[in-house]
Structures are given as C-alpha cells and as structure tokens.
Amino acid sequence: MILALELTPGALLARTELAAMFGVSQTPVRDALIKLSEEGLVDIFPQHATVVSRIDIASATQAHFLRRAVEVEIAGTLADNRTDLVVAQLRGQIEVQAALASGDDYARFIAADREFHRLMYVAAGVPDLFDLVRRRSGHVDRLRRLHLPSAGKARAVVRDHRRIVEAIDAGDAGQARERAREHLSGTLGQVEQIRRQYPDYVV
C-alpha cells in the first residue's frame, strides 16, 4: 500500500486500525512497522506517532546506484551466456507488459515490470540479490509510481526492455550493459519535475 501510494507520504499509521484491517493482533503490526522503518518507508516517533515517510531523494539515489550496478552486470552476464530459454522467457514477459502498457492498471504493469527484472536475476544465478535490491528500493519505487502515469512512460519501459533483450539475444554484452544503463536512468532524471509536482511527498 505504501509502494502503491495508497498510503501517501505523511499518512498517519495507527496500529489498532492496521490490526483490524488485516485481522491480526497489534504485535505483528508492530513488527511489520519496525521492518518498514528499517527500510526507510515509515518514520516512528515513540509515544507520539508513526507516519509514512516522505520520499527521500538521497536514499533513492543510493538505492538506484546499487540497482544499476547490479543489473548492468546481469545484462552483460546474460549476453555472455545467452540461451534460447532465457531469451524466450524474457520476451514472453515483455509481451505481458506490452498488453498492459496502453491501459491505466498501473499496479499490474508495475508487477509485470518487476517480474521481468526478477527473471533476469534468476537467469544470471543471483536471485538473492533481487531480494536485497528490492528491500532498498522503496523510495525509488515510489518515485517510479509517481512518474509512471506520465504520457508514454509505460511504452518507453517496454521499448527499453525489448532493446535489452535484443542485445542479450545477439550475445553483445557491451550493448546489453549500455541498454540496461540507459533504461535505469529514466526516473531519477525526472526528480526535479516530480518534486515540483508533488512537493509534499518528496524531501
């Protein structure tokens, strides 16, 4: 809900309300909020309030640096070790995204996008790194969610993915790395525009 901006930056989080919403006691809610705090998505003020954190550009920049470093290398690795199966899997997932790109179901499009990247990690033999990067990517993910409704953004994502897979299919590691680097440069390049449009969400 936080990543989808159903709970917006600055929203108050009441344990009693969350416990009732999910049908659990307050103990697992408290534990979940602590984990979210460790991931930078929740600010806990003891004896006062718990709120959804504002989107921190500095944290987003660091998380993005980590993700780009990992995924650029993954793209090169997949090109160096090209297989028909991996190329077919990635192309199949791109078609799922393409079918969603012209609609307004952003949640499903984002899920399909995430699955494309997860498949790359798995194919490169580093699935645990996907979980590591995901845990650090909350601020970036929320920026992307704000940016996605921009005209043509979803189709641009699909185009970028096609270019990455074309380079992998050609066995061109250098080109695959460059295409991945280009793809992962979009959202942070629009930070100032997002900040102006959503001044209460971004710090």
DSSP per residue, 93-147 = HHHHHHHHHTSS-HHHHHHHHHHHHHHHHHHTT-HHHHHHHHHT-HHHHHHHHHH
Residue 20 and residue 114 in one domain: no
Position 134 in a domain: yes
76: pLDDT confidence band, cut at 50, 70 and 90? very high
**Does residue 152 have a pLDDT over 80?**
no
Q: What average pLDDT does range 69-91 have in this prediction?
A: 97
| Domain, as residue range, for 27 | 15-52
Token pair 């991931």: residue: 39
pLDDT of residue 181: 94
Which tokens sit at 41?
Answer: 């998505």
Residue 111 and residue 151 in one domain: yes
Specify the DSSP class assigned to residue 28. H
Residue 48 and residue 102 in one domain: no
Residue 69 and residue 108 in one domain: yes
Q: How much is the pTM?
A: 0.82
Residue 75 and residue 142 in one domain: yes
Residue 177 and residue 140 in one domain: yes
Position 66 in a domain: yes
Within 10 angstroms of residue 53's Cβ, the number of other Cβ atoms is 21
Our count of domains for the chain comes to 2
Beta bridge pairs of residue 52: 42
Residue 118 and residue 159 in one domain: yes
